[in-house]
Amino acid sequence: MDLPDLKLLQTAIVLSEVRNFSRAAKLLGIQQPALTKRVNELEEYVGFKLFIRTTQLVEPTDSCRELVKEARTSVLHAERAIQVAKATELGAQAVLHIGKSHYLDPYLLSMLNSVTLPLHPHVKVELSTATYSQLEQEVLMGRLDMAVISGASENPAITQIELSSSPLYILMLENSRLALEFELKINQLGGLRWALFERPVNPHLFDTIMAAAEFQGGTPALLHHVATAEEAAQVIYNEMTDIAFLTRAGAWRVARNGLAMRPLAEERLSLVSTLIARRDNESKVVSEFTRVLKRKLDAPKGVQLNLPLHKKPVRKAS
């Protein structure tokens, strides 16, 4: 029995996930007519329809869902075979492709880079950076062995382990009334102009922040999207916004020269870092890497230094 081209199976996997021809074509790096041609070829090969087309969405049939379930493993093993062959040629036993979010804590990044595997001492780790949704898709497609995302995945095909959780920090001018506080609540930020990351960076955290703000009466007067801590500092300096939501590392990096930082004391709005992998990934290297990383993170840490809050608030006597 002749087997179908792996590209046809990859197409079915991606299209069944995103259920949109243009988005699937973009993820696969091809034009939409080429995607349609692949779908037609695969349906001709199996002898029945795999997708139900509507004006807006593409719905996989029950038969397609079963095909995709098995095809994931086939494509993953084929891609891993190529990766292992290339790694062997370069003198490594294997290559671990790990994705990370833009907001990954530097401490976690240093942990990822410092992992050594006793059972696989010559494994090479390759890191790449992308948004939350891109990382999840790359893991599902088998292009990444695992990824560290900000937040949690709701996809049942993903297995995940929480690595760390830390509060968000609010950046503001040192002479702001908010700088008089030791910590802040979301309702204290209502009516102010916010600088915040774009939703695709971390959809879950973005939606949680906006929902909490609306529920607690802390909605912003204006929302300005920024990509970096340096950009956030600049829009505050230029009086385009009053505050910015940043990670601890980002706030620490720019909280100087007239800027102060305060922790956002909202447990639901913490920045959670999660290690994700495909549930059907049975790689021994991935398993060992996960165990070693978790062991390193769970090990006792040294004394933490105080964050540079600058001009610590002095409460006036009543």
| 256 and 175 housed in the same domain | yes
What is the model's pLDDT at position 83?
A: 65
Give the domain range for residue 142: 92-164+271-297
What is the model's pLDDT at position 129?
A: 84
Q: In the beta sheet, which residues pair with residue 222? A: 193
| 132 and 201 housed in the same domain | no
As a whole number of angstroms, the distance between CA 230 and CA 167 comes to: 19
Assigned domain for 285 exists: yes
What is the model's pLDDT at position 308?
A: 45
Q: Report how far Cα 73 is from the mean position of its chain's Cα atoms.
A: 23
What is the model's pLDDT at position 277?
A: 92
What is the model's pLDDT at position 303?
A: 43
What is the model's pLDDT at position 227?
A: 82
The tokens describing 318, both together, are 């009543």
What is the model's pLDDT at position 90?
A: 58
What is the CATH classification number for the domain harbouring 236?
Answer: 3.40.190.10
What is the CATH classification number for the domain harbouring 11?
Answer: 1.10.10.10
Q: Which of 72, 105, 128 is the last residue of a domain?
A: 72
Nearest Cα neighbor of 219 from 199, 189, 195, 245 is 189
Model-level pTM greater than 0.75?
no
Helix (H, G, I), strand (E, B) or coil at 201: helix
The tokens describing 125, both together, are 């780790």
| 206 and 226 housed in the same domain | yes
Assigned domain for 287 exists: yes
| 253 and 287 housed in the same domain | no
Nearest Cα neighbor of 269 from 185, 199, 177, 180 is 185
As a whole number of angstroms, the distance between CA 135 and CA 165 comes to: 19
DSSP secondary structure string, 72-91? HHHHHHHHHHHHHHHHHHTT
What is the model's pLDDT at position 212?
A: 92
As a whole number of angstroms, the distance between CA 16 and CA 10 comes to: 10
Give the chain's domain count: 3
| 177 and 248 housed in the same domain | yes
| 142 and 291 housed in the same domain | yes
What is the model's pLDDT at position 75?
A: 75
| 160 and 173 housed in the same domain | no
Assigned domain for 217 exists: yes
User: How confident is the chain (318 residues) per 10-residue block, as mean pLDDT?
Assistant: 79 85 85 92 92 81 88 73 66 76 81 87 83 83 87 84 90 95 94 91 86 91 91 93 92 92 90 89 88 85 46 50
- Dump pLDDT digits (tens) for 82-121: 766 766 665 555 778 899 887 788 888 888 888 888 888 8
| 132 and 194 housed in the same domain | no
What is the model's pLDDT at position 305?
A: 40
| 60 and 146 housed in the same domain | no
DSSP secondary structure string, 88-144? HHTT-S-EEEEEE-TT--HHHHHHHHH---SSSTT-EEEEEE--HHHHHHHHHTTS-
DSSP secondary structure string, 152-172? ----TTEEEEEEEEE--EEEE
| 57 and 186 housed in the same domain | no
| 189 and 174 housed in the same domain | yes
Determine contact, residues 103/271, Cβ cutoff 8 Å: yes
